Amino acid sequence: MRTVAPPSIALRRSDVPLMEVTELAAPSRREPPEPLAKTAHQALWWSIANNVVGRVGTTLIGIILARILVPEDYGFYAVALVALSTLLSMNELGVSLAIVRWPGDVSRIAPTVTTLAVGFSVLLWLAMFLAAPLVAGALNSPDATWVVRMLTLSILIDAVTAVPAALMTRDFMQRARMIVDSAGFIVTAVAAVGLAVGGYGVWALVWSALLGNVVNAAFIVKYAPARYRPGFDRQIARELLSFGVPLAFASLLIIALLNFDYVVIGAKLGPLALGFYLLAFNLSAWPVNMFSAPARRISLPLFARLNAGETGASEAFVPVCAALLLVTLPACVMLAIFAQPLIALVYGNKWFPASGVLPWLTVVAVARVLGELVYDFLVALGASRTNLILQAVWLAALLPVLPLAAGLGGIEAVAIGHALVAIVIVIPAYAIVLRRTGVSLRMMARQLARPVIGSLLVGVVALAGLVLVSGKLAQIAVGGTLAAFAYMLAVYPMRATLKASAASMA
C-alpha cells in the first residue's frame, strides 16, 4: 500500500487499487513476453524480502509502542483508521488500476487519472473534515474528532502518488519499492517512538503516519519510471469513470466488510475494547502482510498478462495459491496456539484481553489471504460483477452476526462470529467461483492436502509444548521449534511446488 500506517497498525486497505478497465482497450490475444516468468519471479522475491524486513522492524517498533501507549490510544486511532480506509476506497475513483492494466502507452490516460484522483481526494477530505464529529460520535469516541481530521490528510498524499505507484507496479519495480517502503518505515518508526516517549499519546501515531507518508510519496515520485502533469481529456475521463465508479463502490463495500467489526466494537463496547481488538487484529494480520502482500504486488499484473496471452491464468492459480497457503497456514496455527504467552510476554499483561481474540482472527486471516488472491485473479479475468457479489455476500453475513455477538460476549464473541462466517460462507463461496472460472478444485485439494495435514500436526505439537513446558518464553521457543520441524517433515515432499508456481508463470 502506498499510505504508511504506524508500526503495528493495520490499515485495512487493499494493496492494489480496486479498478479494472478491460473494456477500455482490450489487449489482443498474444503470448506473454518471454522474460515475464523471470521478471515476475524476481519481483516476487524482492517483494517478499521487502515484507520480511518491514514486518520484523514493524513488530519490534510495535512492541515498543504497545508498552508506552495505552489501549485507549489504539482505540481512538482505530476510529480514525475506519474513516481513512473508507476515503481510501473511493479517493482515486478506481481509475489508477487503469495504469497497471493498460495494454499500450499509458501517457494517453495518465494526466486524466492524476486529475481525477487528486480532485476527488480534495473533495472527500473536506467532506470528512466537516463530518468528523459525527463519525467519532457514532463510534463512541467523540475525543477522536481531530484525530480523524488529521489522519485523513493521508488521502491527499495517496492521490499524488496514484499514477507513479501504479507505474511501479506495472513494471514489477519491487526492488525500488523496497527502498521506498524502507524509507517511509524508518521515518515513521523513529517519529512514532520519539513522540510516544514524549507523551503525545495517540498523536504520536497520527503525526508519525503523516510524516512517513510524505517521505514515502517523495521516494515513489523519485523512482517512478515516468512523471505526468495533471491534465484532462473529457472522452478519456468518461471512459475511465464509466468503469471506475462502479468498482469504487465495490471497493467501498470491501472496506465496509473489513472495518465493520471495528464499527460494531467501537459503537457498542467503546475505545478500550476496540484497542484490545485492534492489537489482536494486527497480530492476526501478520501472515497476510508477510506472505499475501508481496504476492499481490505481482499477482494482478501477472494474471492479467497471462490471461492476455495463450497461457491461461486459471492454470497458474492452483500452484500460486498452494505456495501461498503453504506458508500461511502453519503461521496462523502457531499464532492461534501461542496467543496467550505471546501477548503476555511481548506486549505485557495490560494487553492480555486481546489473547482470547487472536486465535479466532487467525481463521479470518486465512480467508483474507485466499480472498485477496481470488480477487486479483477475478480482476485479471474481467469478472468485476463476481467480485462484487462475493464481497456483498461476506458483508451481508456479517451484518447480523457481529452486532449480536458483541452484545452476547464482547470482543471475543465478535471474533468468533467473524471466523464462523469465514468458514461456513466465505471460503465455500470462493470455491464455487473458482470452479466456475475453470480452476480445478480437485487439483487444489491435492496441492493443499499436505499443508493442511502438516498444519494440524503443528497444532498438536504446539499444544503439547504449551501443556508440558513451563514459562512463556520456553513454551514459545520449544513448542514453536518442534512444531516447525514437524511441519517441515510433513510438507518436505512439496518442495517442488514453489518451482511449479514459478514455471506456471512462463
| Residue for grid cell 492454470 | 315
Report yes or no: 335 and 362 within 8 Å, Cβ to Cβ. yes
Q: pLDDT tens-digit profile of 197-242?
A: 999 999 999 999 999 999 989 999 888 888 888 888 888 787 777 6
- Residue 21 pLDDT more than 60? no
Report yes or no: 228 and 164 within 8 Å, Cβ to Cβ. no
The pLDDT of residue 423 is: 95
The pLDDT of residue 380 is: 72
Phi, psi of 320 (to 5 degrees): -65, -45
- Residue 185 pLDDT more than 70? yes
Which of the two residues, 38 and 421, has the higher pLDDT score?
A: 421
Helix axes 472-491, 313-337, angle to 10 degrees: 150
DSSP secondary-structure letter at 494?
A: G
- Residue 24 pLDDT more than 60? no
- Residue 176 pLDDT more than 90? no
Q: pLDDT tens-digit profile of 319-350?
A: 778 888 888 899 999 999 999 999 988 888 88
Q: pLDDT tens-digit profile of 375-417?
A: 878 877 777 678 778 888 999 999 999 999 999 989 999 999 9
Which band of pLDDT confidence, cut at 50, 70 and 90, is reported for residue 55? Answer: low
Q: Hey, what amino acid is at 502?
A: A
Which band of pLDDT confidence, cut at 50, 70 and 90, is reported for residue 29? Answer: very low
Radius of gyration of the chain (CA): 22
The pLDDT of residue 378 is: 82
Q: State the chain's mean pLDDT as an integer.
A: 80
Which band of pLDDT confidence, cut at 50, 70 and 90, is reported for residue 123? Answer: very high
List the Cα angle 158/182/5 in 5-degree steps: 45
Q: Which of 397, 435, 390 is nearest to 419 (CA)?
A: 397
Report yes or no: 437 and 390 within 8 Å, Cβ to Cβ. no
- Distance CA(433)–CA(439), nearest Å, equals 9
Q: Which three cell numbers stand for residue 268?
A: 457498542
Q: pLDDT tens-digit profile of 342-356?
A: 998 888 888 999 999
- Distance CA(307)–CA(364), nearest Å, equals 29
Q: Which three cell numbers stand for residue 24?
A: 477500455
Which band of pLDDT confidence, cut at 50, 70 and 90, is reported for residue 43? Answer: low
Q: Hey, what amino acid is at 269?
A: L
- Distance CA(297)–CA(173), nearest Å, equals 9
Q: Which of 100, 110, 80, 61 is nearest to 3 (CA)?
A: 80
The pLDDT of residue 381 is: 76
Q: pLDDT tens-digit profile of 137-156?
A: 888 888 889 999 999 999 99
Report yes or no: 38 and 237 within 8 Å, Cβ to Cβ. no
The pLDDT of residue 245 is: 66
Q: Which three cell numbers stand for residue 47?
A: 517483494
Spatial neighbors of 121 by CB under 8 A, at least 6 apart, are 87, 91, 92, 155, 156, 158, 159
| Residue for grid cell 499514477 | 163
Phi, psi of 309 (to 5 degrees): -105, -165
Q: Hey, what amino acid is at 134?
A: L
The 10 Å CB-count burial string (b at 16+, else e) for 311-328 is: bbbbebbbbbbbbbbbbb
Q: pLDDT tens-digit profile of 92-104?
A: 666 676 676 666 6
- Distance CA(452)–CA(445), nearest Å, equals 10
Query: Can you give the three-state secondary structure of 273-292, one letter per residue?
Result: HHHHHHHHHHHHCHHHHHHH
The pLDDT of residue 151 is: 92
- Alpha carbon 298 to its chain centroid, in Å, reads 14
- Residue 304 pLDDT more than 90? no
Which of the two residues, 166 and 479, has the higher pLDDT score?
A: 479
**Whole-prediction pTM:** 0.71
